[in-house]
Amino acid sequence: MIRRKTHFRFLLVTYAFASANFLYAAGPSLSKRCQALNEWMATNSEVSSDPDIIAPASVPLFEHYPYLIRHIPYLDIAKLPTPVKPLNSLGRELGHRNLYIKNDSTTGHLFGGNKIRKLCFLLGQAVYHKADYILTVGGAGSNHSTATIVLSSWSNVNIPCISFLSPQLPTAYTCRNLIISQQYGGELHPCTSSADRAQALLHKAAELQSRSKKVVYIPSGGSNALGSLGYVNAALELKKQIGAGEMPKPDYIFVAAGSNGTAAGLSLGLALAGLDTQVIPVITVPMTSEEFTADARQLIEEMCKLLQLSSIPENIIYPRYTTEYFGGEYARIPNITADALSLMHRTEGFKLDGTYAGKALNAFIDYAQAAAHKDKVLLFWNTFYTDKPRTSFGASDISKLPEEFHHYFTDPLQPGDLGL
Ligand SMILES: Cc1ncc(COP(=O)(O)O)c(C=O)c1O
């Protein structure tokens, strides 16, 4: 037990540092605030109790590394494995015979998308620490914030979640996510910028701590080393599906990159699975490929430590990032993305978002059309939760949200937004 406690102290410190990189705006004042946030994390993460968490033995990561069951808390809150399917109709349109989708829309019982895989680990940790509060951040329409609020309200977890949200361009899913967050009891704080939200979070944390409350901070996008293990696990899950004949080994996987845990986790997981597949992450935030690559290297190193590996696997193929489809501003839907979204919808019936999945789809379509890739196996990894809210909502629900969010319900949607 002592070893385990020591391990988790270490783990919290590493995740505090991993979280620094992805508060989306850069600049000296912000990095100072990030540092303040990290210092706060490093000094406020004592382990207070023994874990009471069961890791299901059928989770691919624990099948692969059974010793981890005793070291890494995991909450069984996801619906896994997610389906793999051929995209025949899209393939006919693009003249390619080997196109597939791995659909992570269906990861959740109450909310889906890529964040659920990370939260199995992150909320496992919060429960393990007997947190009184979970604090997190995101854009106003953040899928991560919404997923965290929904799942932390679950009876297995039952920890209030406070989220600090900065402005973004309007999208259809922003309205859905705000309503769901409100319905599941999230405490939402509108902030004027990502710097402001870091500041507001620190204030709140200090206030809670002055009342002796234990706080767990989950970074933007859930992309610290612990959360990113969700995508190491996902790659091992894919390996099993390939083994079962559901699809051939992909040569390329296309995925959206925001806070980077999905791409970095997949890249490490594929190496551990012995698959020589290249991950092509499409950057969706105002940062360079070089910044993403450096961050992936650091995340992968930290994940290897959590997995108790002596070194990074020699066969690792680092993600090959592209900024080509970014569109100049977070959540903007460029025309090329709008075209990709409507092609996918017309041929396969999937209604995806233009912030993340639509941009990964752009790269996937471009590869599928290129002569050099006609004999390759291409996998599009959908990270977007496509469902509408389960209950209808009206003006009275909107009025319960902080006023700063009301305009998202009346702002015109961008022309390429397909809605839900
Ligand atoms: C729908 C969706 N896809 C992809 C991403 C990017 O994943 P990651 O933050 O792990 O890079 C996010 C979040 O940022 C997301 O909400």
Claim to verify: residue 164 and residue 257 sit in the same structural domain: no
Known active-site residue 194: no
Claim to verify: residue 326 and residue 256 sit in the same structural domain: yes
Claim to verify: residue 369 and residue 281 sit in the same structural domain: yes
- Segment 388-405 shows an average pLDDT of 92
Amino acid identity, position 245? G
Q: Beginning with the edge strand found earlier in the chain, give each strand of the sheet holding 278-283 in spatial order.
A: 84-86, 99-103, 378-382, 252-257, 278-283
Q: Which of 253, 279, 284 to mutate to test the pocket of ligand 1 (most atoms within 8 A of CB)?
A: 284
Q: Is 230 in the pocket of ligand 1 (CB under 6 A)?
A: no
- The CATH number linked to 350 is 3.40.50.1100
Ligand 1 mean position to 5 CA, how many Å? 31
Summary mean pLDDT of the chain: 88
Tokens 């994940």 found at: 303
Claim to verify: residue 310 and residue 254 sit in the same structural domain: yes
Residue 407 in domain: no
77, 123 in Cβ contact below 8 A?
yes
Q: Whose CA is nearest to atom 12 of ligand 1?
A: 258
Higher pLDDT, 396 or 43: 396
Claim to verify: residue 16 and residue 150 sit in the same structural domain: yes
How does strand 215-218 pair with strand 133-139? parallel
The C-alpha atoms of residue 312 and residue 302 are separated, in whole angstroms, by 10
117, 78 in Cβ contact below 8 A?
yes
Print burial letters for 26-44: b (CB count within 10 Å at least 16), e (below 16). Answer: eeeebbebbeebbebbeeb
Residue 194 in domain: yes
Q: Which of 175, 200, 222 is the last residue of a domain?
A: 222
Position 54 scores a pLDDT of 58
Number of domains in the chain: 2
Position 128 scores a pLDDT of 86
Residue 358 in domain: yes
For residue 15, pLDDT over 80 is answered with: no
Ligand 1 mean position to 67 CA, how many Å? 29
Q: How confident is the model at residue 71 (pLDDT cuts 50, 70, 90)?
A: confident
How does strand 252-257 pair with strand 133-139? unpaired
- Segment 322-349 shows an average pLDDT of 98
Q: Is 116 in the pocket of ligand 1 (CB under 6 A)?
A: no
Q: Which atom of ligand 1 is nearest to the CA of 142?
A: 16
Claim to verify: residue 141 and residue 31 sit in the same structural domain: yes
Ligand 1 mean position to 221 CA, how many Å? 7
pLDDT digit string, tens, across residues 176-234: 999 999 999 999 999 999 999 999 999 999 999 999 999 999 999 999 999 999 999 99
Residue 74 in domain: yes
Residue 398 in domain: no
Give the structural domain span for 40: 2-54+114-222
Residue 388 in domain: no
386, 171 in Cβ contact below 8 A?
no
- Segment 278-287 shows an average pLDDT of 98
Higher pLDDT, 395 or 29: 395
Of all residues in the chain, the percent with pLDDT exceeding 90 is: 81
Claim to verify: residue 237 and residue 301 sit in the same structural domain: yes
Token code pair at residue 164? 């600090």
Claim to verify: residue 365 and residue 285 sit in the same structural domain: yes
pTM confidence score: 0.89
Q: How confident is the model at residue 236 (pLDDT cuts 50, 70, 90)?
A: very high
Claim to verify: residue 118 and residue 108 sit in the same structural domain: no
Q: Whose CA is nearest to atom 9 of ligand 1?
A: 259
Claim to verify: residue 314 and residue 324 sit in the same structural domain: yes
Q: Which of 199, 222, 245 is the last residue of a domain?
A: 222
Residue 178 in domain: yes
Q: Which of 176, 192, 222 is the last residue of a domain?
A: 222
Claim to verify: residue 214 and residue 238 sit in the same structural domain: no
pLDDT digit string, tens, across residues 126-157: 998 899 999 999 999 999 999 999 999 998 89
Claim to verify: residue 216 and residue 141 sit in the same structural domain: yes
How does strand 99-103 pair with strand 84-86? antiparallel
pLDDT digit string, tens, across residues 283-327: 999 999 999 999 999 999 999 999 999 999 999 999 999 999 999
Residue 345 in domain: yes
The C-alpha atoms of residue 61 and residue 68 are separated, in whole angstroms, by 8
Q: Which of 121, 231, 262 to mutate to test the pocket of ligand 1 (most atoms within 8 A of CB)?
A: 262
Catalytic residue among 45, 105, 142, 267: 142
233, 60 in Cβ contact below 8 A?
yes
Q: Is 384 in the pocket of ligand 1 (CB under 6 A)?
A: yes
Q: Which of 143, 150, 163, 181 to mutate to test the pocket of ligand 1 (most atoms within 8 A of CB)?
A: 143
